[in-house]
Structure 1
Amino acid sequence: MHHRQTLAAVAAGILSIAGIGATIPADATTTPSRSTTTAQGTALVVNARWGGHATFDRLVIDIRGAVPSVTVRQVSALHQDGSGRKVPLAGKYFLEIRLSPAAAHDDAGRSVYQGPRLLTIHLPVLKGVALTGDFEGVVTIGAAFDTKPVHKAFRLHGPERLVVDIAHPVGCRA
């Protein structure tokens, strides 16, 4: 059994360094490791990715550990947590996605988040994504839009992730 755990850890490390995701079987380890959550069991936010579909754009937030409590709300502007500085992301409408308890760094303070910090996107509805906070147990991600976003958020498992689907306006084609 120890040999299997060692091989799984080595393979995950190699794939992580290469930038390739991997799913490790549930029986590969018997206890959570620090790479999965912080010592306090806080989920780690490791990536944000997106895609365009025929009738909606999708934003996916990848998480190590269980998906924490999530709030998705429309805000008039995006601000950096902690400093309060306005996030320079173009758009007329914004969604703020708050995950708590969560972190985008490990117990040693090293970032585990590999997604965009501030990025313009050219999808029919989604126009930008920014990591706006990793502060005091709360990770905040902002999304920008040119039209008022109609969205739904839900969790998916294996691997753990939060999904936010944003509907295209009627008559919009991807």
Structure 2
Amino acid sequence: MRRILLLIVSIATCVGLWIVPGPATAAPPYCGQVWGSLDKTSGSMSSAPITNVRAGRHECFDRLVFDLAGQVSGYRAGYVGGISMDGSGATVPVRGGAVLHIVVLAPAYDSAGNATYQPANRSELVDVAGYQTFRHVAWAGSFEGQTTVGLGVRGRLPFRVFTLDGPARVVVDVAHFW
């Protein structure tokens, strides 16, 4: 038995059949994204009200956009266990494997208290049927100068949040994969 083992080792050495693993390498990030899934915060409060909320699909991510009338505001976003209605604290149902709590630091009403954005259906804020990552967008209110939305996604995936000027927008992108 020992001679057979020595023969196999000798043949493998001569033929170069030894497989030696190379150094471990990390897979490149999906679509070059390096966003991560930790909380994102930036900017400050703005009196420029929200006028619309819309969604779009891209090759590598799904996008949620908050349109503002005026100067860009700040935001807070992060994964949470659930969403509560601003002011009342009532639970807001959000479908998906994970939920992003998005707060735009701007009201959805003007200085006189008149609504600048009134969703037709607060529980289905934007139709995201057929989206790869988004599962549900639910309104959680606009209270004390900030507006809250629950974004249900397929799973806890990398995301980014940023602002744009001309016109003013807060943008949330959630990757399709890690």
TM score, norm. by length of structure 2: 0.67
Alpha-carbon shift at residue 114 of structure 1 (Å): 4.2
Aligned to 1:132: 140
Q: What does 1:10-89 correspond to in 2, within 5 Å?
A: 42-89=47-94
Match 1:107 to one of 105, 111, 136: 111
Amino acid at match of 1:110: N
Count of paired positions: 130
TM-superposition CA deviations, 1:58-107 (whole Å, max 9, x none): 1111011212121111111111011111112212211111122x211123
- Rounded to whole Å, the distance in 1 between the matches of 2:59 and 2:94 is 25
Which runs of 5 or more structure 2 residues have no equivalent in the other structure? Answer: 1-45
* Higher Cα Rg, which structure: 2
Amino acid at match of 1:138: Q
Amino acid at match of 1:141: V
Alpha-carbon shift at residue 165 of structure 1 (Å): 0.8
- Rounded to whole Å, the distance in 1 between the matches of 2:177 and 2:47 is 37
TM-superposition CA deviations, 1:16-62 (whole Å, max 9, x none): xxxxxxxxxxxxxxxxxxxxxxxxx6120111100111111011110
Which runs of 5 or more structure 1 residues have no equivalent in the other structure? Answer: 1-40
- Asked if residue 121 in structure 1 is aligned to residue 128 in structure 2, the reply is yes
CA-atom RMSD, angstroms? 1.9
TM score, norm. by length of structure 1: 0.68
Aligned to 2:99: 94
